[in-house]
Amino acid sequence: MSLYVLILAGGSGERFWPLSRKSRPKQLLALFGEETLLEGTLRRLDGLVPPQNILILTNADQEAGVRTLAKALPPENIVAEPAKRDTAAAIALGVGWVAARNPDATMAVLPADHLIHDAVGFQKTLRVAAAAARETGELVTIGIPPTWACPGFGYIEVGDTLEIAGATSGPPVHDVVRFREKPNAELAEQFLRQGNFRWNAGMFIWTIPAIRAALDAHAPELGAFVSRMGAGENFPSLLADVFPTLPKISIDYAVMEKAARVLMVESAFDWDDVGSWTAIAKYLPELGGGNVSNTALTALDADNNIVFSKLKRRVALLGVSDLIIVETDDAILVCNRHEAEKIKHLIARVPAELQ
């Protein structure tokens, strides 16, 4: 099988400020141990996809950081978008890039910044998804079984289970009934109770002909862009001149929600999008009193604090609770953990060189 992978590594990662910066977003951070999330994403593909079949899409701010981490890839397999155009255009670019190399290939789209420990389960899931994509010619997505009624994710409502001849021993494959946008808390509870909803993690697998047909049908401007790339037009000028003019729309809105039929493979791996400092608390050592920290901690009458020290200095807490404390070479954040979602407003107030 000839599998290609597009890794989307252009996220801004404001929610991990001050550790994250414009030039060093979440996927370039070693939040858990020594490995960055991007490195983990590449490592999980090891043995499944050869490096020359992997394309990383990033942006100018982050390009240098990505190149440093992805040295195993040919340099031309790392591309910086000249403008931020949301996921549909980014994916069209990736589809065109693969189409120019192998117009019949199968291709996966993966975010660079998710935390997944089970590489074996991950590869098994991708193999099933690829088999389903090839066997049916449909668009395939990966669904994560929800562990709680999170209102922050999109959901996938699933229907019948399908038999895929090429993947009889892997996780189940379902028909997608419909995609559901981020629900309110009540609806999310209902999704969880009903049991036939999965989280949409933004991972897709399809054949090049299938995604091209879908783009041509539902997003013709993007389909035309893919055709020009697939036909071998000059890539640098397409990137510099045409890409920035593409519509700014997500792949969910542009294609997935409009496609006649979509399949979903259930993930056979652990998954976390670790979207904020509060989300990483469960991966840091618990040092008593509900305080979690990646560094040495001394606490007195202090509980439920999240402490992250890039410099691994000792942090001492006295009489404080529910704080997020982050320190880096040049900035320190002390934040009420119940107001962490306002970090982006805080960042807007710090000098540009610290953003």
For the four alpha carbons of 30, 94, 104 and 217, in that order, the dihedral sign comes to: positive
Kindly state whether residue 202 participates in binding a second copy, applying the rule CB under 8 A.
no
Strand order in the sheet with 292-293: 292-293, 306-309, 323-327
Identified binder of a second copy from the candidate list 194, 309, 310, 352, rule CB under 8 A:
309
313 binds a second copy (CB under 8 A): yes
Instruction: Estimate the crossing angle of helix 86-101 against helix 208-218, to 10 degrees.
Output: 140
DSSP characters over 5-45: EEEE-----GGGTTT-BTTB-GGG---BTTB-HHHHHHHTT
Point out which span in 22-30, 109-117, 262-270, 309-317 binds a second copy (CB under 8 A). Answer: 309-317
Residue 335 sits in the site that holds a second copy (CB under 8 A): yes
CB nearer a second copy, residue 161 or residue 298: 298
260/318 with CB nearer a second copy? 318
Q: Residues touching a second copy: how many (CB under 8 A)?
A: 38
Tell the smallest beta-carbon distance from residue 278 to a second copy (Å). 13
- The H or E element containing residue 307 is strand 306-309
Using the minimum distance from each CB to a second copy, give the nearer residue, 200 or 293. Answer: 293
Phi, psi of 218 (to 5 degrees): -110, -15
CA separation for the pair 83, 41 (Å, rounded): 24
Q: Give yes or no for residue 339 binding a second copy (CB under 8 A).
A: yes
Across the strands, what pairs with 265?
Answer: 142, 173
Q: Does 318 bind a second copy (CB under 8 A)?
A: yes
Q: CB atoms < 10 A from the CB of 252, how many?
A: 19
Using CB under 8 A as the criterion, what x/- string covers residues 11-50 for binding a second copy?
A: ------xx--------------------------------
- Among residues 78, 252, 289, the alpha carbon closest in space to that of 176 is found at 252
Which residue number, 58 or 293, has a Cβ lying nearer to a second copy?
293
**Interacting residue ranges for a second copy, rule: CB under 8 A:** 17-18, 296, 298, 300-301, 305, 309, 313-320, 323, 325, 327, 329-336, 338-340, 342-343, 345-346, 349-351, 354
